[in-house]
A and B are shown apart, each in its own frame.
Chain A
Amino acid sequence: MKNKKSYRTLRRKLMKYGFAGTAYASIGFPTLLKAESNIKIGIPTLLSGRVAQLGISATNGIKLIIDKFNEAGGFNGRKIELIIRDSRAKPDEAARMTRNLINSNKVDIILNCEASSASFAVQEVIRESGTLCLHCISETSSLTADPSIRTWNAFRFARQGIHDAVGSASYAANLVKEKGLKKWMSIGPDYAYGRDSTATFFEILKKFSPNIEIVGQGWPKLFQPDYTEVITQIVRQKPDAIYSCLWGGDLVSFIDQAALYGTFKNSELFAINLADYTTMSAIKNLPEGLHSATRYIAAYPDRQENRDFDSAYTSRFGDHPTNWSWETAVATDFLISAIQETKSLNPKNISESLKGKSRQSFIGVGEGNTVTMRSKDQTLVNYAIGWGSTLPKEPYMKDIKAADWESIQELEKEWLTSKGWI
């Protein structure tokens, strides 16, 4: 009898707990799960091939900031989880991966670490899905400058072609005057960024120095291993100066091959993408006196915070940061700040918070060393742009001259008007 009673009691208890458990599972548990689930950030990038360094150093920049955030407890206990995908630099693959990240992996935000062509593909996917997207790599101006391409939920945290073009052209114009560099040639990768960057550089340079003459242009394919054809053209034309927006391994190969012909003894090289540690250290014998914009070096801006960023990155990853690292680090910092400020992952709320936001940064040259997300075209301004000439060893650059952001923005406005974009 007692056994029967205890059995009944046990059964009732089981039923009670069972119902309670079911109710909790159906109402409470998912809520709890949601509250504790990670914030997912999707990163389409390129991690294979000759420019794998782009994806590696870009994602390292993100990890550096995210790890600090997660170690500090995250956002209300929610940590940030990174889901990284390799698109192999193909625009259609980048579009497919971004869709997958949004629909299958259910990411909350896209941190786009693709190069230019693939970034435009990502832009179209997020335009339709309404997912918040931070472009961290693409420097092609039209991505945010052209109103027909711009979208409310995308922000560019990468440097921009037109800003660099103005900085480069004003630096080059001084040398044109000083050294009489009249005959110019260009060598740029044959894709959107290369053509955009070269055209804008000469357009602006001609404003400062109308008498320069372009005697030849070389358009090697992206990731082309052999530059003999262009070098022969340089030898034939004997230009006073060469403008190049080749980057990464392509620039390394070009400099190594052109140096064999003594090209840089007769022509001044203005390589906008040279002053990045990984590029300069990869060149076998880096010639002294090549001109470059400061992509990323610890010596510029010459401040402790910048050196701290360099040493934190170097001690964690065993290599110096790149231009892509600072861009992604700044984007991640802005994102975290916006999430904390809005206490939300809603793309509209975060977008509103990002617009016009200024943050103190190791790379900032705005008031109080800040960089700013310009509201009108959702692009980063007031980041450090300097130009100088190379040294074969650390600190790799000397005589760095800072670009003036006031004149950059003034000439940018003129350029936008000429394009019919404002």
Chain B
Amino acid sequence: MNVSIKDSFKKDAIYSVVSWIALLSLYFIFNDHGIQDIITKVAILGLFAMSLNILIGYLGLIAFGHATFFAAGAYTLGLFLQSDFIIEYNIGSWSIPIALSLSVLLPGILATIVGVICIRLREIYFSFLTLAFQMIFYSLILALVGITGGDQGLMGGFPKPPFLGIDLGIHFHFYAFTTFIVILAVFLMRQIIESPFGYGLRMIRDNHERPAALGFNIRSHQLLAFIIAGSLAGLAGSLQALLDVGAYPEWAFWSKSAEPLFMILLGGMQTFLGPLLGALIFELLNDFVSANTRYYGLILGLVILIFVLGFKKGLLDWIVIRGRKN
């Protein structure tokens, strides 16, 4: 078993490095800021959707309020970078790494508080309680105008001092850094999913009572998964804030939580990279549809209908199942 885990770790590490090199090559192959931006956005949204899929795909808990942590990550990063704390304590070049760390930590703490309460409930009650917390968080952002900028979001831009030779103001540096962070997070997520803990989550998903009968602490597994998912969503939010140079209350609105759900539906929830493929489809669709028609919602709804009624599963799930059958 140990040998197998070690081999899997090595294999995943190699895949991760190769993927990063491939993404860096794409930067030079498509020497176009527009395409490079799409890749960056897909990476960020993919991380957001994959973090939610820990709960949906591996634990069987449908969370409707996942954008809470995405927005918490974005606002944490923005508020920290705009704070006087950086000048007072002369943090300077370390402000970005610290901000990113805080954007994982604080949404993680928030996820602990929300998770402790939500995991006591199941199914639709769990889903709606996460949504209720999200709406509280959204209202707080709107109400705390002096801190969050209210409905205008965080304004005035973020200083991005270079660190370790990385200057996020340079387009290539930003692209390479964002894709590296996302791949690192996905790699870590993979190790968690393939660990005994990850298999414990699948057991809970498949039969809630059996693991309990075996002496499994279901609540602690659920809570830990909720915290990991929240922290990773926070990281995705902070990268999005860096990309858009702002943070907006709409990121904490319920419709933002629907986005990763759509991505999971489009890409698939049974395969590890399904949500990432879903993010790619979602982003391309978003770009294409909004550039060519005003009926964005209608087209998106039709595409999801085709996937749900036609494939009856996400695209990657469908491909993998077809491949196995053949």
Contacts and interface: CB of A to CB of B under 8 A. Distances in A.
Given A86-B290, A105-B34, A91 B153 contact: yes
Interface stretch (A119-127, A245-253, A305-313): A119-127
Contact of B245 (A86, A100, A102, A128): A128
Given A92-B248, A192-B150, 20 more contacts: A86-B294, A93-B250, A93-B290, A96-B244, A99-B244, A100-B287, A100-B291, A103-B33, A104-B35, A105-B34, A116-B152, A120-B155, A121-B244, A123-B155, A124-B246, A125-B245, A128-B157, A190-B151, A191-B150, A192-B151
Contacts, number: 89
Given A121-B248, A124-B246, A47 B294 contact: yes
Contact of A85 (B155, B246, B251, B291): B291
Interface string A107-145: 000000000110011011101100000000000100000
Interface in B23-45: 32-38, 41
B20 interface: no
B296 interface: yes
A235 interface: no
B254 to A, nearest CB: 13
Contacts of B287: 100, 104
Given A86-B294, A92-B251, A95-B244, A124 B37 contact: no
Contacts of A99: 37, 243-244
A149 interface: yes
Nearest to B243: A99
Contacts of B34: 100, 103-106
B37 A100 contact: yes
8 contacts: A90-B250, A95-B246, A99-B37, A120-B152, A121-B153, A124-B244, A128-B169, A148-B156
A219 B287 CA distance: 35
Interface of B: 32-38, 41, 149-153, 155-157, 169, 243-246, 248, 250-251, 287, 290-291, 294, 296
- Most chain B CB within a 10 A radius of its CB, from A47, A95, A124: A124
7 nearest A-B residue pairs (beta carbon): A104-B34, A103-B33, A124-B245, A103-B34, A124-B246, A95-B244, A92-B248
DSSP class of A's interface residues: helix, strand, loop or mixed?
helix
A117 B151 contact: yes
A53 B150 CA distance: 26
Given A90-B250, A99-B244, A128-B157, A48 B152 contact: no
Contacts of B156: 124, 148-149
B303 to A, nearest CB: 18
Contacts of B291: 85, 100
B294 A91 contact: no
Given A95-B244, A97-B290, A121-B248, A127 B153 contact: no
Nearest to A123: B155
A191 B245 CA distance: 21
A124 B41 CA distance: 17
Contacts of A127: 157, 245
B86 to A, nearest CB: 15
A191 B155 CA distance: 15
B245 A92 contact: no
A46 B151 CA distance: 17
A155 to B, nearest CB: 17
Nearest to B245: A124
Contacts of A182: none
A104 B284 CA distance: 13
